[in-house]
Structure 1
Amino acid sequence: MSADADSEKGYYSPSSQDVAEGQEKVGERNVNKQAAERFGAFAPIMEKLFDYGVEARGVERVLENERNPKMFWNNLFMWWSVNCVLTTVPIGALAQAFFTLSFGNACATIFCFGALGAAFTSAIATLGPKTGLRTMVIARFSSGYVGGILYSILNILTQLGFAVTCVILGGQTLAAVRPDTLSLEGGVAIVAVLSVIPCFVGYELLHRYERYVWAPILLVMLFLYGLGGKAGYHPTAQKALEDPAGRFLAGDILSFGGIVFGSFTGWAPVAADYNCKLPANTSAWAVFFMTFFGLYLPICFISILGAALMTITDPAYVAAYADGSMGGLIAQTLTPWGGFGKFLLVVLALSVIANNMVNTYSAGISIQALGRPFAIVPRMFWTLVGFAAYTVAGIVGREHFSDILSNFLSILSYWTAFFMVITLEEHFIFRRKGGVLGGYNLDDWDSPSKLPLGVAGILAGCCGIAGAVVGMAEVWYIGPIGKHAGNPEFGGDLGFELAAAFAGVSYPILRWAEIRLVGR
């Protein structure tokens, strides 16, 4: 599909780079050499790494002649592999562990809030093929260069936060296999090291790994469902602890719903990263549904497994969760199969690598998106920096997995909510065909003087933060509106809903004024 055709559809204005280079594909060797030249004295070393298969590309835009339509199905399998992992199990367990919801209400909350989160994230994913840009760079077209930096900082913290939960749970589970010989710290370190190797190499190896790993993990999850049933599910086990109806129940559902929403929208700030090598004429609906089902089906299926395991009332299972958190409970569930059960436990522990690879890779890309001084540093170097950060954090926080996961996913949903609304409003209102701007000039992606000032995006983000503050309900703070949404002592979390609403109302007004005053 030509750049002119894309322009006619309102996707973007023709890129001079596409016009100049679109007729002739540069040889791979020359591409590697050109990519290495920007590293000065280290150029020969970098060129060697690139020749050996380490990804040369960083945050730069993927030109149309560099796209590959065969990557489409790889992306579907990638989302399955990323979410069909051990770290998805504890999300469902939080319904009973923190909010005393019954199994039925936990499932209903997962289905409903999950559909909402998956839909928003999938909409962001469609922008990858249209622009050839990473998600944090796309944000520059709504919030300017400075706004893009602010979002990149938030996303770096998000991806590292996800990585911490991955290495802690993977480490817990590995330690549960041989508690006398492997410490929790050692388990965390093993998972972290195995995660960083494919990310150092880059995009192609990551996709190749994710293409297949989902299948055996899905089989193990089915085994867990069966073994849990043999131990005895009791769907009404928490019913007596649940507030019967009305305000208190609503507060628990809203708070747990915020966690579920965050588990889906945590992928929104990186959703376009893994579609930017698809051709611009790839169907937006195909990308949307590929991403939606790649997120929705595995996350719902496996988080409900976590909620189901929490209904087992056998004292040995209750004690296993109390002593070893989710890793201990899963180990107990696999105990009837003896040595084979321990083998499956190792497989489950290592499944978190599929999830953590995406966190690690996108953290490196987001560090490059902080600006030109960061972009000239090789992506693989930033990958190693992220690896060091989350490994240390995982070892330090290894005993507090459930607390970290609960608070992290709640807070995550706040900023991703207003980020998604602002980005999508820019695309569908101002950049649409017939809109005020009529599309994107993608040559401007790294030109602060040609990008929007970002005042509208930053102010709308501040409005979103204000909405989150008045609506949140956390252990350490309950907003004035959140306090009235549930039990007065604990409140009900309306943070992400109000963050999205405040930003959604303010951004079109502010952006219209910015365009009228500045022209971009």
Structure 2
Amino acid sequence: MSNSNEDKEKGIVHYVVADLTSLDLSSPDDSIIASRFSRYGTLGPIMQKLFASGVEARGVERIPERERESKKVWNNLLFWWSANCALTTIPVGVLAQEFYTLTFPHAVAVILCFGALGAIFTSFIATLGPKTGLRTMVITRYSSGYVGGSIYSVLNILTQLGFSVTAVILGGQTLASINPGTLPLVAGVIIISICSVVPCFVGYNLVHFYERYAWVVIFIVMLFLWGLGGHAGFDISAQKANEDTGRNLSADVLSFGGIIFGTFTGWAPVAADFNCRLPADTSSVRVFTLTFLGVFIPTTFVEILGAALMTITDPAYVDAFANGSTGGLLSQVLSPWKGGGKFILVLLAMSIVANNIPGTYSAALSMQALGRPFTVVPRFFWVLLAFVVYTIAGVAGREHFSEILSNFLSILSYWTAFFVVIVAEEHFIFRRPNGPLGGYNLDDWDKPRRLPLGVAGIVAGCCGVAGAVVGMTEVWYTGPIGKAAGGLFGADLGFELAAGFAAVSYAPLRWLEIRLVGR
């Protein structure tokens, strides 16, 4: 009898120990994360009330399987549709004629081809969210180490804040153009900024709720713009006389293609942030496909609209663009509807909120991913800091929207290209089930001594930077390969060479790192 009881007790002890070891203690519950902030003196109770009212307490901490909330993978499609079916996307298509003298057919071809490539990059990163339960910048630690992940976090912070600056400037311009002289441009910038920060302050659930429905009205508005533009008279042959030929034309195509690629891959550094609460067994094919469709279809649809509006030859429309940039052109397109057109301009301006939300939310997460001292600061604090920074920058740069957009998007495509290549090689070569590392040890996400040293990732990233430098073509610098590639001003091959240099260097360096260090 005693032996039987002893066996039972041993069995109970064994069961309890097994149960405890199965717990993912490195990924605490939301309630445990919220309780950490109770030591903030008098601020502690205030933060506790915020978290209790629905403000997201979790930041970059891994989301364990037991806390995954939803199997609604279709939200991926709607989320990205709202983020990209926005006023912010129209000026990208405008750049085809404004800076690169491309005719409408050539602009469409570039948008479709380079857009598809960029959407593939972003969709791959999105598949890693459910697999790991980690935010994108934390995933980079598995290829580039703790230090390398922090470097990528800095790049992503600059990227998302840059996106936000262009977004709030365009929104402010549009609001100011509704009744010229009534609303100052500065006030318009601030209005868009405030509307963008509220969902990000609350967190993941409100962000997804807003993005799930925001696309509906704006998609209808985009159809209105197509119809009104067609009524004004699209003339796809009008720009033929201004288009470059020969090597100059190929240079224009490559340079504009780099901008298009950047608009699509600009979402790659944040793509896993918004589906990391999906169950780990969610089909990667479905995540990839729905993300691709949500990014590619609305973005190309709206960018092509921007290119089409530039084919209108009516002098009133040409003057409207010359005097008021994209906002002035849209105001002229909607002018036949008078008061109704002004209401639609308000809707267009507010569509920027859906475009600006992902960048604001993820910039805050990237600030936390800089390291443990940053992680302990509440996520919503970093959201507010991002809001302050891009609002001030938007007010300061409000008169130079086109220049900021063109230069920023070109540079953006460089680092996102080599970032995705490095993460992809780590995933498919070294972390595959039968590969050298056999997968991801997800408990190590915040343990520098168990993560890779990151030498391979950092050096490969530097090689990617070198590729961008020799291939880039900017107003302020042209690399030797970019200059030799063709055209009077050179052809921008920055993102292609950045990806190529990183791809060639990372695999052998990472193999050597694993052989020498074992991780």
Query: With structure 2 as the length reference, what TM-score do the two structures score?
Result: 0.94
1:482–1:337 Cα change, 3 Å: same
Q: Label 1:394 to 1:172 Cα distance change in 2 as closer, same or farther (>3 A).
A: same
In structure 2, distance between residues paired with 1:422 and 1:243? 36
Who is 2:257 aligned against? Answer: 257
Partner of 2:78: 77
| Segment drifting more, 74-83 vs 265-274 | 74-83
Contact 2:71 2:279 in 1 (8 A): no
User: In 1, Cα distance between the equivalents of 2:44 and 2:419?
Assistant: 37
Does residue 198 (structure 1) correspond to residue 199 (structure 2)? The answer is: yes
Question: Could you tell me which residue of structure 1 aligns to residue 12 of structure 2?
Answer: none
Q: Which residue identity lines up with residue 94 of structure 1 in the other structure?
A: L
Work out whether residues 367 and 382 of structure 1, in 8 Å CA contact, stay in contact via their aligned partners in 2. Answer: yes
1:72 counterpart SS class: coil
Give the Cα–Cα distance (whole angstroms) in 1 for the partners of residues 248 and 204 of structure 2.
46
Q: How do 1:429-508 and structure 2 match up within 5 A?
A: 429-487=429-487, 489-508=488-507
Paired residue for 1:9? Answer: none
Q: 1:21 to 1:457 in 2, by over 3 A?
A: closer
Query: Residues 479 and 69 of structure 1: is their aligned pair in 2 closer, same or farther, counting only changes over 3 Å?
Result: same
Aligned equivalents of 1:382, 1:221: Cα separation in 2: 33
One-letter code aligned to 1:20 = L
RMSD (Å) for aligned C-alpha atoms:
1.6
Does 1:324 pair with 2:327?
no
Taking the aligned partners of 1:100 and 1:249, their CA distance within structure 2 comes to 9
Give the Cα separation in 2 of the matches to 1:320 and 1:74.
Answer: 38
Residue identity matched to 1:299:
T
Cα distance, 1:417–1:38 mapped onto 2, change above 3 Å: farther
User: What residue number does 1:3 align with?
Assistant: none
Does the Cα contact within 8 Å between 1:199 and 1:360 map onto a contact in 2? Answer: yes
- Residue 47 of structure 2 is aligned to residue 46 of structure 1: yes
Task: After TM superposition, give the deviation of residue 95 of structure 1 in Å.
Answer: 0.4
Alignment of 1:116-265 (within 5 A): 116-244=117-245, 246-265=246-265
SS at match of 1:434: coil
- Tell me the distance in 1 between the aligned counterparts of 2:418 and 2:145: 16
Q: Is the 8 A contact 1:17 1:443 kept in 2?
A: no
Partner of 2:15 in structure 1?
A: none
**2:73–2:286 CA contact under 8 A, matched in 1:** no
Mapped partners of 1:32, 1:438: distance in 2: 30
Structure 1 pair 326–21 and aligned structure 2 pair: CA distance change class (3 A): same
2:352 paired residue number: 352
Cα-to-partner distance string for 1:203-245 (whole Å, 9 max, x where unaligned): 100100111110100000000000000100010111111123x
Matched, 1:514 2:518: no
CA separation of 1:37 and 1:428: change in aligned 2, threshold 3 A: farther
Q: Deviations over 1:15-34 (max 9, x none)?
A: 99892169xx97x7x45653
Q: CA offset at residue 486 of structure 1?
A: 2.2
The residue that corresponds to 1:20 in the other structure is 23
- Give the structure with higher Rg (CA): 2
Residues 406-434 of structure 1 show CA distances to partners (whole Å, capped at 9, x for unaligned) of: 00000000000000000010000000011
2:61 touches 2:134 (CA, 8 Å); kept in 1?
yes
Amino acid corresponding to residue 300 of structure 2 in structure 1: C
What is the aligned length? 500
**1:286-317 Cα shifts (integer Å, max 9, x gaps):** 00001100000000000000000000011111
What is the distance in 2 between the residues matched to 1:237 and 1:47? 62
Residues 287 and 38 from structure 1, CA distance in 2 versus in 1: closer, same or farther, beyond 3 angstroms?
farther
TM-aligned CA deviation for residue 117 of structure 1: 0.3
Cα deviation, residue 41, structure 1: 5.3
Aligned letter for 2:517? V
Q: Are the aligned partners of 1:16 and 1:443 in contact in 2 as well (CA < 8 Å)?
A: no
Could you tell me which residue of structure 1 aligns to residue 401 of structure 2?
Answer: 401
Structure 2: distance between partners of 1:32 and 1:143: 27
Spell out, residue by residue over 1:492-520, the C-alpha distance to the aligned partner (whole angstroms, 9 max, x if none): 00000000000000000100011111111
CA deviation map 1:431-480 (0-9, x unaligned): 00110000011111001111000000000000000000010011111111
Q: Return the offset for 1:120.
A: 0.9
- Answer yes or no: is the 8 Å Cα contact 1:217–1:347 preserved in 2: yes
Q: Is the 8 A contact 2:460 2:505 kept in 1?
A: yes
State how far apart, in whole Å, the 1-side matches of 2:39 and 2:118 are.
40
Are 2:57 and 1:56 equivalent residues in the alignment?
A: yes
Return closer, same or farther for 1:434/1:139 CA change in 2, 3 Å cut-off. Answer: same
1:169-215: CA deviation from partner (whole Å, max 9, x where unpaired) = 00000000121210111100110011111110011001001111101
Cα contact 2:115–2:300 (8 A) shared by 1? yes
**Residue 376 (1) aligns with residue 376 (2):** yes
CA distance in 2, matches of 1:253, 1:40: 58
Distance in 2 between the 1:36 and 1:295 partners? 37
* Structure 1 residue 249: Cα displacement: 1.0
* Aligned partner of residue 325 in structure 1, secondary structure: helix
- The alpha-carbon distance between structure 1 residues 121 and 384, as it changes in their structure 2 partners (threshold 3 A), is same
Alpha-carbon distance in 1 for matches of 2:213, 2:89: 18
* Residue 416 of structure 1: aligned partner: 416
The residue type paired with residue 183 of structure 1 is P
Structure 1: 5+ residue runs without aligned partners?
A: 1-14
* Rounded Cα–Cα distance in structure 2 between residues aligned with 1:16 and 1:115: 47
1:481 partner SS: helix
- Sort the Cα spacing of 1:415 and 1:18 in 2 relative to 1 into closer, same or farther, 3 A: farther
Alpha carbons of structure 1 residues 478 and 145: separation in structure 2 relative to 1, 3 Å:
same
How far the C-alpha of 1:35 sits from its partner, in A, is 4.7
1: CA distance, partners of 2:210 / 2:37: 26
**In the alignment, residue 362 of structure 2 is paired with which amino acid?**
S
C-alpha separation in 2, matches of 1:18 and 1:394: 50
Q: Please tell me whether the aligned partners of residues 153 and 366 of structure 1 are also in contact (alpha carbons under 8 angstroms).
A: yes
2:24 touches 2:443 (CA, 8 Å); kept in 1? no
Distance 2:268 2:48 in 1: 33
Q: Report if aligned partners of 2:225, 2:333 keep a CA contact under 8 Å in 1.
A: yes
Once the two structures are TM-superposed, the CA of residue 43 in structure 1 deviates from its matched residue by 2.4
TM-score of the pair, normalised by structure 1? 0.94
- The one-letter code sitting in structure 2 at the alignment partner of 1:233 is F
CA contact under 8 A between 2:34 and 2:58: conserved in structure 1? Answer: no
Amino acid corresponding to residue 170 of structure 1 in structure 2: G
